[in-house]
Amino acid sequence: MAKVAVIGAGIVGVSSAEWLRRDGHEVVLIDPKGPAGETSAGNAGLIAAPSVSPTQYPGVEWRALRDLALGGAFRLDWGRLPHLAPWLFAFWRNSGAVRVRELANAIHTIAGDAVEQHRILAAGTPAADFIGEGEWWHLHRSTLPKDNKGVAIKREFGFPVRVVAEAELRDRDPHLNPAYRSAFALGGYGRISDPAAYVQALAAHFQDGGGRLLLTAARDLRPMENGVKVTCEGETLDVDKVVLACGVWTETFARQLGVRSRVISERGYHVECWGANRSPPDGVAYQLTDTLHVGHALRGRFRVTSISEPAGLDSPPSSRAMAYVRRGPRLFYPDLEQDRVTEWMGRRPSTPDSLPLIGAAPNNPNVLFAAGHQHIGLTAGPKTGRLIADLVSSRPPNIDLTPYAPNRFT
């Protein structure tokens, strides 16, 4: 049995902590804001197993330039451009067709069975009630949706794709904006009805089983001869292993370990319409292919997400980006009414190749990385947690971890 500190209580950290606890380790989960206090609370609520395409693709630079010029879903913190430029260049270099296929294979390896992984992790706990399955409908303004490489690659990996004609759209959702006349219905997706509550339920089960939750910030790591000293606000811990599942804050610890993690903050925004008179039908999430707004009915509210915005970790939210997201609900439903609207901004931990960092730090085998999941954190969190438990428990993982090596950018 090992003493393990997991830094970060999002879905990746909570999953890692729970799988480690089930292996019999003594685990402390460290996060100043508690479970789902940051990014895991704000996603679209999709277990996106079929979303194997990386965020880069051939020609991505032209879409980015168009969005920058026209005020689309891709935004940029211009004040941070000198700092971000090397990362953006590396991102672009990973957008060739051959490289994108390699990245898609690696994403599928950790995300392709995500719905099953969530069900296994949550089985027998209150968290299981939050999991469902459904389709993701990509809405088009044309009478027939236009095929694209993203849809084609989902078919190649065996996920179901069907065309939804206008008659079915109107029948399933008569209040949907009539400008959208067809869709691709992408199958194999899971749904989380309340992402924050789901992660919190998993964390509560972890605590009920003997795990410890420490509501404080980890400030420093110091590898020792037989373990790691973790300095927190108000407490110092001597542990055998540390798991870095702290998202965009990973880079701080990576520098202490001499690792170039290349994890940056890619901001996303959402609005929630509480008591809304309109929302997508049960079992369906929407995406507007022209504006990239995503809409999903969660418990008690209609959540609309959008925006990809590389930015400084401490930069204030962009009012223009939030205004763009606020347009979304009425793009879906022109006659939408609601009791109140809430807004949120979060920070996706993103790498230049769209793959997370999973594995031991070079020269520091007692520190393990589990961070940088970008747009698939909720999706791949449970499987990442199992892989971390395998590594700590000295079991050979059942996949090749080379594509996710923490030192691949050095």
Mean of the per-residue pLDDT values for the chain? 96
Average pLDDT over residues 95-123: 97
Query: Does residue 218 form part of some domain?
Result: yes
Beta-carbon contacts of 382 under 8 Å, excluding residues fewer than 6 positions away, are 11, 15, 114, 117, 118, 120, 121
Q: Is residue 353 part of a domain?
A: yes
- Residue 118 and residue 379: Cα distance in Å, rounded? 8
Name 131's bridge partners.
192
- 281 vs 200: CA distance, rounded Å: 26
The answer to whether residue 17 sits within a structural domain is yes
Query: What gap in Å lies between CA 140 and CA 64, rounded to an integer?
Result: 20
Residue 7 lies in a domain: yes
Rounded to an integer, what distance in angstroms lies between the CA atom of residue 121 and that of residue 47?
Answer: 14
* Residue 181 confidence class, pLDDT cut points 50, 70, 90: very high
pTM (two decimals): 0.96
Range of the domain at 287: 3-404
Domain-embedded: residue 41: yes
Is position 239 within any domain? yes
Beta strand 301-311 with 264-274 is: antiparallel
In total, how many domains does the chain have? 1
Tell me, what amino acid is at 243? V
Six token digits for residue 141:
């303004």
pLDDT at 234: 85
pLDDT, tens digit (0-9, with 9 covering 90-100), for 223-275:
998 999 999 998 999 999 999 999 999 999 999 999 999 999 999 999 999 99
Beta strand 364-371 with 241-244 is parallel
pLDDT at 192 over 90: yes
291: its two tokens: 């504006």
Q: What tokens does 295 get?
A: 């809409």
Element (H, E) at 87: helix 81-93
**Alpha carbon distance 23, 3 (integer Å):** 12
Question: What kind and span of H or E run contains 311?
Answer: strand 301-311
In a domain, 409, yes or no: no
In a domain, 410, yes or no: no
Give me the CATH number covering residue 89.
Answer: 3.50.50.60
